[in-house]
Amino acid sequence: MSEFGPLIPLAGMAVGLVAVLGWVFTTWLRVKHGYPLENSWGKAIHPVASTETTERLRLIATENAQLRAEVASLKDRTAVLERIATDQSAQLDRQIESLRDIKVN
């Protein structure tokens, strides 16, 4: 037990250092991505928004709306194509055409 005595304080300091570095890293990530920080009482502290941040958020919202409209359009087009592909009359037409292509002996 005496040979591990000096290692106990070093292990404690290492654990403390890892905890502090983890806290610094998570705080940096929150600030980077715009999440609110918390004070010592758990109350949210919102970062101050600059005009650049506001403009960037507006552009992102505009792009998001455009992408949503494009996805809706693609869903509509896909539904039409699925309906055409699964239509019974279209299948019958394909079968008739395939029979015409077969050479008669």
Question: Is 46's pLDDT higher than 70?
Answer: no
54 and 100 fall within a common domain: yes
The confidence score (pLDDT) of residue 60 equals: 94
Highest mean pLDDT of the ranges 45-49, 67-71, 81-85: 67-71
Nearest alpha-carbon partner for 34 in 46, 22, 52, 23: 46
5 and 39 fall within a common domain: yes
36 and 64 fall within a common domain: no
* Under 8 Å between Cβ of 58 and 65: no
Domain around 100: 48-105
Helix H or strand E encompassing 44: strand 44-45
71 and 26 fall within a common domain: no
pLDDT-based confidence at residue 69 (cuts at 50, 70, 90):
very high
62 and 97 fall within a common domain: yes
37 and 1 fall within a common domain: yes
The confidence score (pLDDT) of residue 2 equals: 65
Q: How many domains does the chain have?
A: 2
The structure's pTM equals 0.42
58 and 104 fall within a common domain: yes
Q: How far apart are CA 44 and CA 36, in angstroms?
A: 6
Question: Is 3's pLDDT higher than 70?
Answer: yes
5-37 pLDDT tens trace: 778 888 889 999 999 999 999 888 888 887 777
38 and 65 fall within a common domain: no
63 and 32 fall within a common domain: no
